[in-house]
Structure 1
Amino acid sequence: MRYAILSALKFLPIAIVTALNIGSAHADVRIKDIASFEGVRENQLVGYGLVVGLNGTGDTLRNSPFTEKSIEGMLERLGVGNLSEDKIKTENTAAVMVTAMLPPFARRGSTIDVVVSSLGDADSLRGGTLVVTPLTGADGEVYAVAQGPIAVAGFAAQGINASVVEGVPTVARIENGATVEAEIDFRLNDMDSLRIALRTPDFTTAVRVADAINDQLGQRKAAALDPTTIEIALNNKEDVPQLMAGIENLTVEPDSAAKVVIDARSGTIVIGSNVRIDEVAVSQGGLTVVVREDPVISQPEPFSVSGATIVVPQTSVAVNEKEAKFTILEGDVSLQRLVDGLNAIGIGASETISILQAIKAAGALHADLEII
């Protein structure tokens, strides 16, 4: 969708970015930029582990009993047994959750990045090392194992009466910190059909994608099943990876619904090129009342016995009236004429937000109005 971005500053007039040509047709985009192939996706992995080697910033074992149990279990597996509770007083260990994304078609032995997040009351993970941690998928199977020194972006420093925290020192990353130990069994050439899923559901776009694929293949093998899914029939001799490479680079003209998006916090307004407005009259004006109080110090007379210095406020009130202006937006107004009409009455983004909401309430704005 082509967009015109309105000024986000109150004192600037509304303007269209000159680089955009609103009257031109939509640009063609590659299918790979608006859709994805079914089955080609990442999978979430999660694990529970321990970070050791912290400089006194680890979990407090009294407040994090699961950390103590984990330390006991780890030491027992390493041959250190017969530990009583009063012998574990370490502050250099923290319990963490380890998460990662398993890329599609990741092979055994390849490495992936992991994110390490504190689970207890540790102050910082800086300088720690993650002990070997199995990472499981939604099916409970172990697909990767993580271990290694962690890198923390934030830091924390604390004194007796003051403390400084920059970023989040209890979340860290390990680049290439996990090794893939199991592969997901999925073969493209064994598929009977190939499905494409649009990231933004739209009937028109789905039909255009199917037509572009059929034109490329020279036969009616692709069909739109719904506003999101396009299915392509395959035969046993089809080279699916080569077919997918050819399809994802085809270009189509995506369609989209008319929408106006408003960011009320920054005053940014984004209007789609398909937005239309019925004939309306718009005025902008009002009163501004300024109340100002200036404190005046009143001193007592010299040598007075009961006199005291007091502060007497002086109040001044000023009323500024802005002249109301009308502009007529004719029927079936396009994006360009809408912005020109609002510029004609010299208003900024904050006033434009109120006007667009009022036009929508009057039923004259034929678009979705989304406020974020």
Structure 2
Amino acid sequence: MSTSARRLSCLALLAGLIAAGMAPGLAQAAQRIKEVAAVQGVRSNQLMGYGLVIGLDGTGDQTAQVPFAAQGVSSMLQQMGITVPPGTPMQLKNIAAVLVTAQLPAFAQPGQQIDVSVSSIGNAKSLRGGTLIVTPLKGADGEVYAVAQGGLIVGGAGASAGGSKVQINHLSGGRVPQGATVERAVPTPLSQGDSIQLDLNAADFNTARAVAAAINTAKGAGVAQAVDGRVVRVRAPQDMNDRVSFLADIENLPLELAKPAAKVVLNPRTGSIVMNQAVSLAPCAVAHGSLSVTINSTPVISQPNPLAGGNTVVSEKADISIAQQGGSLIQLPASAQLSDVVKALNALGATPQDLLAILQAMKAAGALQADLEVI
């Protein structure tokens, strides 16, 4: 791809993903309440446990450098009635100490199975082909909510010999699908009280008002009340069957939301720039150029004559050059549509890294009608 093509395509992906659906006269699809809010208390819970993976092909932990792996094996053997004398050297290259994590879904009941993620915490080279042995998974309160065990699926491969190594993807982590069995359910406040609370994903007074209005229109005046920009309180039936049906109805109610606040998100590490549909430009003029400084250092050796009695001296010769790329002043017209903003910025012929500085300067000059957020 040529340089000019790269410049013109610096925001082509942005235009294709966002601006294509923002043409004048194209209606925006309405959102549902379930996409902007969640019922308070209906959430997943994080579980974590320490375990061992066995059956590795010599790619496990080096127990001399990972002492807790040997301690874990000793504890496991003691539970099975096998006592290992203290101080016994253990060379366990087929075992790896791992950390097991899982998400306990809302309303999960004992006997149901969930997926678990397994990650090495030692210096194991690979977990491929290993089996996770019984590992209790605890919640934030220290109680055991699930027990994990099973064969690992590692999405990678590797081989090494004679100091050479080939590896595909990551080998020190994997998953066990349906590898944990739920042992305890987490109570939820869904059935408590005569009302439920909807928590918005983002604080916005307009969205809270729209959610309350949609519920009142469908279920009757006064059923929902917007408490603030994040919370909507809703009166719900006392009977659990009726309450579930009530929630199913209000979750699918459509919302006609106003245009969101204009925002531009910048990522200086990757040069990514993302704008939403509300971004607009005021008339402005922009000049862009680049300045490069090149420094070359060349060693120079000064050798004295054989009878001069001097010493050999090594010095450096530095060549410094400065190149400045000219940039003409470009006038950008007022742009109300996102597609026009993309075209105007592409006209600058700047790379995404340059646009990071240009957008900040345009914001400081008052020409960019949007909030800048750096992540």
TM-score range, shorter chain: 0.7 to 0.9
Distance (whole Å) between structure 2 residues aligned to residue 134 and residue 213 of structure 1: 43
> 2:373 corresponds to which residue?
370
Match of 2:233 among 225, 231, 234: 231
Q: Find out whether 1:9 has 2:12 as its counterpart.
A: no
Larger helix proportion of the pair:
2
Distance (whole Å) between structure 2 residues aligned to residue 41 and residue 188 of structure 1: 11
> 2:361 corresponds to which residue?
358
> 1:19 corresponds to which residue?
20
> 2:120 corresponds to which residue?
118
Kept in 2, the 8 Å contact 1:22–1:273? The answer is no
Distance (whole Å) between structure 2 residues aligned to residue 169 and residue 104 of structure 1: 31
Q: Look up the equivalent residue of 1:272 and give its one-letter code.
A: N
Q: Find out whether 1:250 has 2:253 as its counterpart.
A: yes
CA gap of 1:146–1:284, structure 2 versus 1, over 3 A, is: same
Q: Secondary structure at the match of 2:215?
A: helix
> 2:263 corresponds to which residue?
259
> 1:214 corresponds to which residue?
216
Match of 1:141 among 143, 156, 167: 143
Q: Find out whether 1:327 has 2:331 as its counterpart.
A: yes
> 1:297 corresponds to which residue?
none
- Mark the runs of 5 or more structure 1 residues left unpaired by the alignment: 1-6, 294-314
Kept in 1, the 8 Å contact 2:263–2:370? The answer is yes
Match of 2:191 among 189, 192, 198: 189
CA RMSD of aligned residues (A): 3.2
Q: Look up the equivalent residue of 2:244 and give its one-letter code.
A: P
Task: State the 1:212 CA deviation.
Answer: 0.6
Q: Secondary structure at the match of 1:63?
A: coil
> 1:305 corresponds to which residue?
none
Distance (whole Å) between structure 2 residues aligned to residue 269 and residue 8 of structure 1: 18
Q: Find out whether 1:271 has 2:272 as its counterpart.
A: no
Kept in 2, the 8 Å contact 1:148–1:174? The answer is yes
The 5 A counterparts of 1:54-93 are 54-86=56-88, 88-93=90-95
Q: Look up the equivalent residue of 2:265 and give its one-letter code.
A: V
Q: Look up the equivalent residue of 2:6 and give its one-letter code.
A: L
1:62-93, Cα deviation, whole Å (9 max, x unpaired): 11211111111111111112534335332211
1:263-307, Cα deviation, whole Å (9 max, x unpaired): 556665433332344443x1446589999x9xxxxxxxxxxxxxx
Task: State the 1:173 CA deviation.
Answer: 0.7
Task: State the 1:27 CA deviation.
Answer: 3.0
Kept in 1, the 8 Å contact 2:288–2:348? The answer is no
Distance (whole Å) between structure 2 residues aligned to residue 49 and residue 337 of structure 1: 56
User: Kindly, what percent of the aligned residue pairs are identical?
Assistant: 41
Q: Secondary structure at the match of 1:70?
A: helix
Kept in 1, the 8 Å contact 2:96–2:120? The answer is yes
Distance (whole Å) between structure 2 residues aligned to residue 321 and residue 63 of structure 1: 55
Task: State the 1:161 CA deviation.
Answer: 2.3
CA gap of 1:318–1:151, structure 2 versus 1, over 3 A, is: closer
User: Which of the pair has the greater relative contact order for Cα pairs under 8 Å at 6+ separation?
Assistant: 1
Q: Is 266-275 or 22-31 further displaced after alignment? A: 266-275
Distance (whole Å) between structure 2 residues aligned to residue 194 and residue 109 of structure 1: 28
Kept in 2, the 8 Å contact 1:51–1:93? The answer is yes
TM-score by length of 1: 0.80
